[in-house]
């Protein structure tokens, strides 16, 4: 329906409303007694691997981590349950975003967790997570905003792939959790244009958002990648090293 110009303004307005309603609280996540930020990349890598294995939609990955973050904002989570929360969030997100035949089964997730949890634990956690976040799954993902931008203005395939790589890198880092997904998508696209040798100045942000916030997001991504180039997720770098992703991770590493 987003392709229908007649309804696009209303849809974009609703997306802006929902992104403010579905952001997690980084400050509340900071006070978790057992979870520490250095643990996050391990969970994200694990989720990315499952996401790839079952060939789930890009939106599912972002919704999964948004659900995790909102849950962790509201409930105390012990280290031993962090992976379980991630799997429950993935189940919820996949059921919401993906075709039924793509959704992993509890048995498959249990196997990927090396049988660390009983099958019943996944179902129980799934229900607990949903009730905690008020069954609200309408998070407008960075992927959704990027697709919208590419409807408004045709972007080269390589530029889109680099933007997607940059957006997925943001999942690993605390500093990006509080960013509106529209700003994150706009910032990633702005930076991707520079990396791919295009002019970003002549292309205003298409979402009706604050251009300064988008520029700030681009600078934040740029700083993160520049300062952590040798420490970027190997799983994500490998994922985006293939030709169907325009060798995006290679383009980014060569740029820096």
Shared domain for 70 and 172, answered yes or no, is no
- What's the pLDDT score for residue 42? 98
Q: Which domain holds residue 107?
A: 23-132
Is residue 37 a part of any domain in this protein?
yes
The answer as to whether 16 is a domain residue is no
Q: Tokens 């992104």 appear where?
A: 19
120 and 169 inside one domain: no
Residues 32, 122 share a domain: yes
pLDDT digits (tens, 9 = 90+) for 38-88: 999 999 999 999 999 999 999 999 999 999 999 999 999 999 999 999 999
Q: How confident is the model at residue 180 (pLDDT cuts 50, 70, 90)?
A: very high
In a domain, 151, yes or no: yes
The pTM assigned to this predicted structure is: 0.94
Q: Which residues are CB-contacts of 208 (< 8 A; sequence separation ≥ 6)?
A: 12, 16
- Give the residue among 54, 58, 69 at the shortest CA–CA distance from 23: 69
Tell me the pLDDT tens digit for each residue of 85-127: 999 999 999 999 999 999 999 999 999 999 999 999 999 999 9
Instruction: Please check whether residues 50 and 152 belong to one and the same domain.
Output: no
Last residue of a domain, one of 104, 132, 160: 132
Q: Which CATH number fits the domain that encloses residue 198?
A: 1.10.472.10
Please indicate, yes or no, whether residues 153 and 124 belong to a single structural domain of this protein: no
pLDDT exceeds cutoff 80 at 181: yes
Q: Is residue 162 part of a domain?
A: yes
Segment 220-237 mean pLDDT: 97
SS (H, E, C) the chain: CCCCHHHHHHHHHHHHHHHHHCCCCHHHHHCCCCCCHHHHHHHHHHHHHHHHHCCCCHHHHHHHHHHHHHHHHHCCCCHHHHHHHHHHHHHHHHHHHCCHHHCCCHHHHHHHCCCCCCHHHHHHHHHHHHHHCCCCCCCCCHHHHHHHHHHHCCCCHHHHHHHHHHHHHHHHCHHHCCCCHHHHHHHHHHHHHHHCCCCCCCCCCCCCCCHHHHHHHHHHHHHHHHHCHHHCCHHHHHHCCCHHHCCHHHHHHHHC
> How many domains is the chain built from?
2
Does residue 160 sit in the same domain as residue 236? Answer: yes
Task: Say whether both 113 and 173 belong to one domain.
Answer: no
């Amino acid at each position: 329906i987003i392709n229908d110009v007649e309804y696009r303004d209303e849809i974009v307005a609703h997306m802006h409303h929902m992104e403010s309603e579905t952001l997690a609280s980084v400050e509340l996540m900071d006070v978790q007694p057992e979870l520490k930020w250095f643990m996050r990349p391990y969970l994200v890598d694990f989720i990315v691997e499952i996401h790839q294995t079952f060939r789930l939609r890009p939106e599912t990955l972002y919704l999964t981590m948004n659900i995790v973050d909102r849950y962790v904002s509201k409930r105390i989570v012990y280290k031993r349950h962090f992976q379980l929360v991630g799997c429950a969030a993935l189940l919820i997100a996949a059921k919401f975003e993906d075709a039924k035949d793509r959704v992993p089964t509890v048995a498959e997730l249990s196997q990927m967790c090396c049988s660390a949890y009983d099958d019943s634990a996944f179902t129980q956690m799934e229900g607990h997570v949903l009730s905690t976040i008020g069954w609200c799954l309408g998070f407008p993902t960075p992927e959704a905003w990027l697709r919208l931008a590419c409807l408004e203005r045709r972007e080269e395939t390589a530029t889109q792939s680099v933007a997607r790589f940059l957006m997925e890198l943001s999942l690993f880092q605390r500093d990006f959790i509080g960013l509106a997904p529209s700003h994150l998508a706009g910032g990633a696209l702005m930076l991707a244009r520079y990396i791919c040798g295009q002019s970003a100045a002549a292309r205003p942000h298409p979402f009706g958002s604050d251009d300064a916030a988008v520029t700030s997001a681009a600078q934040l991504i740029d700083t993160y990648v520049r300062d952590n180039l040798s420490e970027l997720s190997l799983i994500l770098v490998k994922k985006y090293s293939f030709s169907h992703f325009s060798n995006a991770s290679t383009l980014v590493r060569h740029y820096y």
